[in-house]
Amino acid sequence: MAAEKFAQKNNLKFPKIEYKDINKKAVSCFWDKDSLSPMIIYMPFVKDISLNYSQNPILKNFDPNNCISSAFCGTYNFGYSQYQFEQVCELMRCNVALNKEIIKNKILEFIKIKNNTETI
């Protein structure tokens, strides 16, 4: 939301974002067909229920909601234990790995649309 507000305040192009349930999926992509509008890839700090984390021992019992509410993932906490650090990094690594085809395909689709709108 902050990036969208910044874009509006500075008269920059920004795609329409559907915020409903945005924090339930590991990745969401947004763009407009306007050739000046960027693509937004949003990856919240979440365990996506549609993904299988059970084979990962670091994430098996990790709940990012507890991490945030217990403040170890708070913005001003710089004192992570090694294991906490591994949990946070592994969640994001896993989310990217489990969604890499979706991310890649969305980027390729975005490039194709942008190339078509620029030649018109």
Does the pLDDT at position 120 exceed 80? no
pLDDT of residue 119: 53
Model confidence band, residue 109 (pLDDT cutoffs 50, 70, 90): very high
Domain ranges, ordered by start, for the chain: 2-118
State percent of the chain over pLDDT 70. 93
Is 91 buried (19+), middle (13-18) or exposed (0-12) by CB count in 10 A?
Answer: buried
Does the pLDDT at position 38 exceed 50? yes
| 39, 15 Cβ separation under 8 angstroms | yes
| 25, 48 Cβ separation under 8 angstroms | yes
pLDDT of residue 43: 93
Does the pLDDT at position 75 exceed 80? no
pLDDT of residue 39: 93
The residues near 22 (Cβ < 8 Å, ≥ 6 apart) are 28, 42, 44
Range 45-74 average pLDDT? 82
Range 54-79 average pLDDT? 80
pLDDT of residue 69: 65
- What is the pTM for the complete model shown? 0.80
